[in-house]
Structure 1
Amino acid sequence: MDYTKKHFLARLSGGRVHLQAASLCEAAGTAWPPPNYFCWQSRPLVPGVRSQGSSLVLLPGGGPPHRQSQPLNCSTGPRRDGNVGGVTDSTSPAPHAARGYVLTLSCADQPGIVHAVSGSLLEAGCNITDSQQYGSPDTGTFFMRVAVETTTSFSRLREHLDGVAGQFSLNWQLHRAGAPVRTLILASKAAHCINDLLFLQRSGTLPIEIPAIVSNHRDLEPLARFYGIPFYYIPVTPDTKAEAEAALLELVAEHEVELVVLARYMQVLSDGLCRHLAGRAINIHHSFLPSFKGARPYHQAHARGVKIIGATAHYVTATLDEGPIIEQEVIRVSHGHSVEKFVAVGRAVEARTLAQAVQWHAEHRVLLDGTRTVVFD
């Protein structure tokens, strides 16, 4: 039997975890250990909190998979798809209750777009609560974001939008307002960015739900367990990079992930993976590039006596750290600051910048304009 990692991937179906590895090996009559396996564990979070954390581990060799507690129900909110021209929502309101939607669109700039779109929404019984638009003089592209409330059924609203979309060749998306975006977080060892995201999500500030945390180290597993989020340990070496990325893509599909956030994930993604995640993967890095590369940029910056520290959040592309910028922030430092102060200030800026970029993306405020972004406030 060919023991690949997918044979030992604990699958989530309907929000429940089903461990397959042990039964597969028992049926095959094969002795342990196979070359690689996943091991799933679940532990209580804290007293009084119902959710549980789990961890899925890819290890070379070792004993058989085992389960230590009840399966995890990791559903934390309504499912929705941001497909072009479509939206689904498992928690639809009552038939006559007002629903909120966010419409985003782009097309070749031309007269009459705003009039046609707003008129179509009016005919569909929508009340426009916010509307912003921008015409790019460089690319000749028109961008628009409209928030509406309506009691009209989605099918009728779609009919009206289909008509105007065909007239202007719109690239459009309709999203349920406030629906959490399913977000997978990639991280390595540093906890400042991921901890900020987890806290903001738990407190209701970020409109995301986090079905999984993936790391090439196990340092952040206790943090994931504390928040009751499944943790997937997928080590990466030059020889296993392709295998690790295949496992990551399987998790993205399995969890119906809409956004991937690299919260100080210290691995360079392959060109193929970057293309697969184009427009739905956000990275954070310090803004010293290309001056100070490597693992200790703040130490290098301190040695050179820089006067500002900054961070950049951007979409991931095949060209390293050069994707379309979503948000940037800088803060002044001085010669009197120690290296430790540089590091602390830099980490705080990174966490704030990444969280802001994730929030804008989740609120459907960011539209791509070639190598740049349009961000509606």
Structure 2
Amino acid sequence: MKMLSITINTIKLTFKNKTVFFMQILFPIVLIFVFGIILNGTMNKSKNFKDVKIGYYSAENKDMNNEFNEIKRQGIKLGMKFYEEKKESGIKKVEDGKYTCFIEIKNSEINMYKSDKDEFKTSLVESLMKTFIQRYNAIFKIASVNPKALGNINLKSINMSLVNDISINGKGAPGSMDYYAVTMLTYIMMFSLLNGFTTMSKRKQITNRIICSPVRNSDVICGKILGDIVFSAMQILILILFSKFVFKAYFGEHILAVFLIVLAEAAVAISIGISIGLMDKNYDEINTQFVAVSMVIGFLGGSYFPVKYMGKTFQMVANISPIKLINDAVFNVIYENNFVMAFRAIGICSVVCIMFIIITSIFYERRVF
């Protein structure tokens, strides 16, 4: 109960702080809008598909060629270009970077040879071909074992699934508004550190009254962390919903997972901020230093520009940025439905957060308040 009272009190005090409300809710909305509009043309050029060139070789197979022609029509509508080639020359052009990929259509299977030079373009073609390849490989395996079973398979239904895949593939990579809705959200969550710092450093009179009561250090610390986390959860929810419904930013089909990843980031920042706040440091000094550090971390983490466009050396250096881990995890969930990095990010954040809570509870006596 005591910890809950401290949590509620912390939430109330945070909402009363107009500066916090402006900087952490209104300011990121402005940033998303400004970056999204200004860099719209630059980032969305990658979504017009005009640089995607596909080589293919098709053996004589009427049913398969009819379906592949449907694939070609849909790809051409998106701006892709298809070139019929022999296998050897087609693969050579993939190796030379002239083709994004080469597709070989045989009587019993479909093979796709892709280039690693441009992962984005390759992912577009993979998304386009995925349903087609998997379904037809399965059909030919069935035919080799039990040809009569093919009568139960509706081949015409493939067209609809292909159209759906193409539609989804329109979000195969984020547009500027999609991108900055995520990166500005994760960037501003770093500033939750200042919330944690303020909770302990600027409200000492309130904290001292708590200390005078029979309350354990751990209850005080955990109560304040929970209070700031609840505020951050509200903040994240507001920013996601505003970006989604006002800016039409894309957050995929797993918004809850996105929410939890960013909340885990906020929890770490808060726990670190509370630890710093207990050291009785000057707020203005900490604020100045943190803003400088956060700009570097944000830059390396891709908050301002996508890291994948910055060269291999920069990409290697960028791995030191914790915000890159969060951004990568979020984008993997949104655009690839891949939760591996999400679990990793949440796990690391949870461990770091618990570690700071334990260290702070053990090593700081009540007199520091």
TM-score, shorter chain, exceeding 0.5:
no
**TM-score, normalization: structure 1?**
0.28
More strand by share: 1
Structure having greater relative contact order (Cα 8 Å, sep ≥ 6): 2
- Looking at CA atoms only, which structure, 1 or 2, has the larger radius of gyration? 2
**TM-score, normalization: structure 2?**
0.29
More helix by share: 2
